[in-house]
Amino acid sequence: MLVGMEAQASRAPRPARGTELELTIDSLAFGGAGVARLDGYVVFVADGMPGDRVRAVVGKSKRAYAEARVVEVLAPGPERIAPVADHPGAPWQVLPYERQLEVKQSQVQDALRRIGRLDQFTLEPIVPAVQQWRYRNKLEYSFGTDEAGRLVCGFHVPGRWDEIVEISDCLLASEPANAAREEVVGWCRAEGLSAYDRRTGEGFLRNLVVREGRRTGQLQVRLVTSEGRLDTAGLIDAVGAPSLLWTRMSGVGETTQGGETELLAGRDRLDEELLGMRVRISPQAFFQTNTEMAEQLYGLAREYADLSGYERVYDLYCGIGTIGLTLSPRAAELWGLELVEEAVADAIANARLNEIDNANFFVGDVRLALRDLVAEAGSPDVLVVDPPRAGLSQKIVRRMIEASPKRIVYVSCNPTTLAPNAAQLVESGYVLRQVRPVDMFPQTPHIECVAVLDRG
């Protein structure tokens, strides 16, 4: 059933799941979906660009809005350009890059003003990406089977957990990283290995993780499988990567974290350089996936921290210590807090590797451990926080306020969660001074930004 906007508006404003609609996209929402309206009823349309006239099928229908996906572009909008590659990980490649930057800049401003109700701050121009393509230092691929039963390796079709788009040349990865992936896939096909079937739980090959030290040129390949046998000697001979690992998973979930990992060849750590500092990264540790733009992001955090050499600095959600360690040469002392034990071990090792002796890292849940840290180390002069996409709970923000830092540098990967966190801090007496977006992920709707708040 195909329903036009006018006909639909005159009957029922809420379309049922599976309904096909003809829509005109007005704008882009945070997260990347196009926004269309049926007599005021909002429809978020994946893959829709401003000005597009599209045919879309409804996937979810709720009282206030529906979610749909484009099945055909009937008339492209004036801004739409031809895609460079068939790549599910680059949904905004049909939008000119300068326009991508404009949208991201406006979305940060909109989130802070509409969600946080904040307006007394300076929004600085977005930092553009150094490279618009081939910028990722890590990619996680999934194995699947095509209609002919052939083994494929690529990415999930958006909105589908059981269908894989095969990638032959991933334009988000470097040529050496692509070559390493192709070596593994070719060997797996020659061995007749089967893909894990996410519907039945049968099969062997799950994921392939390829990681690269952009500054060092090192490559790390990690094959993720179900429990079973693997000709490890044959894989080592076939793959030229200096670091090769095998992770065996027993659960049914789609994840590359956890499981039992065995080092097959080379070293289990990947070396990288960042702002003149050398870091070693564990196979499952978090590290910003765009090295060049991580330098821009952390450089901005260092600028906003404005350290003079006498400050006590806290680094919350410190991970392997990258942000804090780049600040430590300009601080009197650094205290990092992170929940993941392996990451803290990496942070301590990275401090030693760079001969940094004023850094202290501890394992702990920020929500529970921040008070103890203040009791042991004293209140921070500067507090740096880099939370996950969900942002900070109100309780964690209250703990930060209790710690009473003079300055807070908030590194955010989600302006819609930065906004309420910043509003809570402002309500307690802090002043939001500056915010600057950083384009870590060109061709995607993801936005990073750094904000600085001073105690009033």
Domain residues for 326? 100-131+290-455
Write out residues in the chain with pLDDT < 70, as ranges. Answer: 1-13
Write out the two tokens for 337.
Answer: 């807090």
- Phi, psi (rounded to 5 degrees) for 247: -110, 130
- Phi, psi (rounded to 5 degrees) for 283: -55, -35
Q: With contact defined as beta carbons under 8 Å apart, do 344 and 351 qualify? A: no
Question: Tokens 């979305």 correspond to what residue?
Answer: 107
| Domain harbouring 232, CATH code | 2.40.50.1070
174 and 305 fall within a common domain: no
Q: pLDDT value at position 153?
A: 95
- CA-to-CA distance for 206 and 195, rounded, in angstroms? 6
303 and 431 fall within a common domain: yes
320 and 438 fall within a common domain: yes
Query: What count of Cα atoms within 13 Å lies in the side-chain half-sphere of residue 369?
Result: 16
Write out the two tokens for 314.
Answer: 């806290």
Write out the two tokens for 409.
Answer: 């540098």
260 and 168 fall within a common domain: yes
Q: pLDDT value at position 8?
A: 41
Split into its structural domains, the chain has a count of 3
Q: pLDDT value at position 254?
A: 77
111 and 146 fall within a common domain: no
For residue 45, give every residue at least 6 positions away whose Cβ sits within 8 Å of its Cβ, in sequence order, or none: 23, 25, 33, 34, 35, 36, 54, 56, 67, 68, 69, 70
- Residue 16 maps to a domain: yes
107 and 147 fall within a common domain: no
Write out the two tokens for 222.
Answer: 């990690």
| Domain harbouring 119, CATH code | 3.40.50.150
Q: pLDDT value at position 258?
A: 82
Q: pLDDT value at position 48?
A: 95
Q: pLDDT value at position 191?
A: 95
Q: With contact defined as beta carbons under 8 Å apart, do 422 and 432 qualify? A: yes
268 and 179 fall within a common domain: yes
- Residue 251 maps to a domain: yes
- Residue 356 maps to a domain: yes
362 and 440 fall within a common domain: yes
Write out the two tokens for 319.
Answer: 């991970």
Q: What is the DSSP string of 3-70?
A: E-HHHHHHS-SSPPTT-EEEEE--EE-TTS-EEEEETTEEEEEET--TT-EEEEEEEEE-SSEEEEEE
- Residue 85 maps to a domain: no
Instruction: Quickly count: other Cβ atoms within 10 Å of residue 43's Cβ.
Output: 24
104 and 165 fall within a common domain: no
Active-site residues, by number, are 413
> Which residue in 337, 324, 323 sits closest to 399, CA to CA?
337
- Residue 312 maps to a domain: yes
Write out the two tokens for 284.
Answer: 């499952």
Q: pLDDT value at position 1?
A: 40
220-225: long-range contacts (C-beta < 8 A, 24 or more apart)? 220/244, 220/245, 220/266, 220/270, 220/283, 221/180, 221/181, 221/184, 221/245, 222/246, 222/247, 222/256, 222/261, 222/283, 223/184, 223/247, 224/249, 224/256, 224/259, 225/196, 225/249
263 and 307 fall within a common domain: no
262 and 191 fall within a common domain: yes
**In which element (H, E) is residue 334 found?**
strand 333-338
- CA-to-CA distance for 1 and 19, rounded, in angstroms? 6
Q: pLDDT value at position 5?
A: 42
| Domain harbouring 17, CATH code | 2.40.50.140
- Residue 352 maps to a domain: yes
- What value does the CA radius of gyration of the chain take, rounded to a whole number of Å? 24
DSSP 3-state assignment of 180? helix
For residue 103, give every residue at least 6 positions away whose Cβ sits within 8 Å of its Cβ, in sequence order, or none: 28, 95, 445
- Residue 407 maps to a domain: yes
pLDDT (tens digit, 9 = 90+) per residue, 188-210?
999 999 999 888 888 999 999 99
- Residue 415 maps to a domain: yes
**In which element (H, E) is residue 224 found?**
strand 219-226
The pTM of the full predicted model, rounded to 2 decimals, is: 0.91
255 and 337 fall within a common domain: no
pLDDT (tens digit, 9 = 90+) per residue, 352-393?
999 999 999 999 999 999 999 999 999 999 999 999 999 999
